[in-house]
Each structure stands twice: as C-alpha cells, then as structure tokens.
Amino acid sequence: QVTLKESGPVLVKPTETLTLTCLVSGFSLSNARMGVSWIRQPPGKALEWLAHIFSNDEKSYNTSLKSRLTISKDTSKSQVVLTMTNVDPVDTATYYCARMFSNNYVPDFFDYWGQGTLVTVSS
C-alpha cells in the first residue's frame, strides 16, 4: 500500500525558513520509475508545483521559486525534504507531497498524494 505523509510546522513567521518532510511507504525512492514532488495550494486557489526529485537524485524546481527552494531525499529513511527560505504570508498554503510516475525519467503523472499539511505564515 503506497502512502505519503507530510509533516512540518503549522505556523511560521515571515522571513523564517520552512522545512517540510514527506515520509513515504509502499515504494522505494530508488525506484527508477518513481519520483516525488512538492505541490502547494493557497486557500481557495489552484495547485502550484514547487519541486521534484528523481530516483537518481536529480532535481527540478519551479523557476519562479527556485532561489528559495531546496529538495532532497534520504532513501534509507524513505523521506523527501523541502526547505523554503524567507517565507512570506503569501506562502500560506496546504503543502502536498505526491508520487510521480516517470517513464524514461520523463515525469508523467501523480498517482498518489499525501493528505497535505496547512502551513500559515504570520507574525
């Protein structure tokens, strides 16, 4: 059974660094066809892709947020971590991690999603 579960702070102050962890089970982060992305959704708004990490540890980032984001993984712990620096109230959102199925290292679709974690940025 594949599951993903996000964890992290509920409340973060502006200018601080946000660190989120995604614990996966039911598959290995070293599986060549699997990668993990972070996606966020401000209240009442659309999904916004943030970053992706491939099984071979290559990373891709949303170009508009790239300078603030770092994605990494620990395969032995089945964890994917996202850090976002210098947060602002506009970063208030539900943050999801999701498994992405890839064919020949071309990411295709998200077949499993975590439940999401709501992060509020406020002083």
Partner 1 sequence: SYELTQPPSVSVTPGQTARITCSGERLERKNVAWYQQKPGQSPVLVIYYDNKRPSKIPEQFSGSNSGGTASLTISWTQDMDEAEYFCQAWDTSTASVIFGRGTKLTVL
Q: Which residues contribute to the site for partner 1 (CB under 8 A)? A: 37, 39, 46-49, 52, 60, 62-63, 96, 98, 100-101, 106-111, 113-116
User: How many Å apart are CA 89 and CA 32, to the nearest integer?
Assistant: 37
Least separation in angstroms between residue 88's CB and partner 1 is: 21
**Exposure of 59 by Cβ count < 10 A (0-12 exposed, 13-18 middle, 19+ buried)?**
middle
Residue 4 or 81 with smaller CB distance to partner 1: 4
Q: What is the DSSP letter of 58?
A: -
Least separation in angstroms between residue 81's CB and partner 1 is: 18
